[in-house]
Amino acid sequence: MQNFFSDRWKIGFLLLTFCVSFGYALLYRIPPSVDARLFHETAMQIATHSRYCVSCDTVPPDRDPAMDNVGPGYQFFLSAIYRTFGVHLWIVWLIQALMHTIVVAWLWTLLKKILPSDGHRWHFFLPLSLYAFHPDLVQQTAMLMSEALFVFLMMASVRLLVYLIEKKDVAKSIHWITVIGLGLILGALFMVRPPGLLILLLSVAFLIWRRLAKQAVLIILIAVALQVPWNVRNVQVYHHFVLNAPVGGRDFWVGLHPESGGEFNVPAEVTKKLEGLDAAARERTSLEETKKIVLNHPGYALKRTVHKAFKLFALSKTSGFWFHYRSTLDHALTVVGSILFNFVLWSMAFAQLWEIVRTRRVRHWLVLFSCLGIIALAIAPTLTVVINRYRIPMLPFATLLAVEWLMFVRGKDRWKSLLGAWAILIIATISDVWGNKEKVLEHLQRIKS
């Protein structure tokens, strides 16, 4: 086993990870579309004119579509690349492929902490390979989407958290520099996507649990301070406090609307009621409509929320349904590959979760952090809207759980936990397909055409 952890193995594996990721981007050269186009256009305006908008000269700032995407973290990230290197998408793909490769390297290190030296090679290699070459992840690095940056910052924060908790004998200067770095990264994480706030709170909770309360307080202060310039800008634009972006209320309403299926399928009623309103009015109207549904139909609201929680982990929720494929074959192969990778990885991850619930025992605090990390990242889509890519940030934690399960669960217990995991995946998939039959048929037709 020790030979497997040698530098030669690691360098070769990471090089292959980078080549697959960047090679996919160069092969398909996916143009910015839908959300990616909005990210791209906003970043262009920041880089060239230092203004956060898209329709800058045609609509008032509080009605500009730039705020229809959460941010501003990824938009500033793209604008920094454009300003430094020019508007060349291949440079973005290159950087995102490098970030994905670095995350795999960090996972390699973290997995060694929970895997004993007498473990089998495949206990380590199988889950890590499923993560490194996962079709959904490879696709995301080839697109202008915020998940690549979010995962990179999240795993950077986990890496620093591990260092803080386990390295108590380092110099004070290095220790406190690490604390400041963790605060900055967690603050930036929230600016990329709102679920970063829950990762921040989870990290702080673990620091307090390990008697690092002073460090936890400083991290919160740094993360909050990082938001202040953006919050001040939003007050100037919207004349009221906006923490991240004024889209949360709409997502709550759409997620509960009977015609949405729990996904971001905006019904005509929502579009009509929000048309022409400024950001404050849109949020106010959306939250009022959400409140009506919850108060007048609490049973339905609860049922829809449970349905979304299952839908998030459905095998039918694959990132393979896109528009850049060159033939039916590569489209079908990507979709089937996505389903298989998700099935194997989530089977092992859910089996480990099942085993933890059954035995009420956790062997390493990183495993507990991974369990809670998956739960934290599932909260936002469960309460708002389910989109397949929202599951991507959970995959590093699922990889850690998979290694733990392969290493320590044996015999009949392994099959019992697997049956429990498969039950969850089957129920989730049936729930998704049954509630979105038309959309599934549309996707299948897309592959045929």
Question: What pLDDT is stored for residue 340 in this prediction?
Answer: 93
326-335 CB contacts, 8 Å cutoff, 24+ apart: 326/28, 328/447, 328/448, 328/449, 331/446, 331/447, 332/447, 334/135, 334/139, 335/447
Please give the average per-residue pLDDT across 377-390, as a whole number: 90
- How many helices (H) and strands (E) in the chain? 19, 0
> 422 or 449: whose pLDDT is higher?
422
As a whole number, the mean pLDDT across the chain is: 87
Question: What pLDDT is stored for residue 411 in this prediction?
Answer: 81
CA-to-CA separations, 214 to 32, 177, 209, 259, 435, in angstroms, rounded? 44, 14, 12, 48, 48
**Residues shown for the chain:** 449
115: part of which helix (H) or strand (E)?
none
Please give the average per-residue pLDDT across 321-334, as a whole number: 76
Task: Read off the pLDDT of residues 310-327 as tens digits, 9 standing for 90 and up.
Answer: 989 999 888 655 667 777
> What is the residue extent of each domain of the chain?
2-30+88-245+297-448, 246-295
d(CA 415, CA 252): 38
What is the phi-psi region of residue 314: left when phi exceeds 0, alpha when psi lies from -120 to 50, beta otherwise? beta
258 upstream amide cis, omega within 30 of 0: no
pTM of the model as a whole: 0.92
Question: What pLDDT is stored for residue 276 in this prediction?
Answer: 77
Please check whether residue 355 is in contact with residue 417, taking contact to mean a CB–CB distance below 8 angstroms: yes
Tell me: pLDDT of 330 over 50. Answer: yes
Task: Read off the pLDDT of residues 259-291 as tens digits, 9 standing for 90 and up.
Answer: 888 888 888 888 888 887 777 788 888 889 899
User: Measuring CA to CA, which residue among 270, 194, 283 is closest to residue 240?
Assistant: 283
Q: What is the largest CA-CA distance in the chain?
A: 66
Which residues have C-beta within 8 Å of that of residue 42, sequence separation ≥ 6?
A: 52, 53, 54, 66, 69, 71, 75, 78, 79
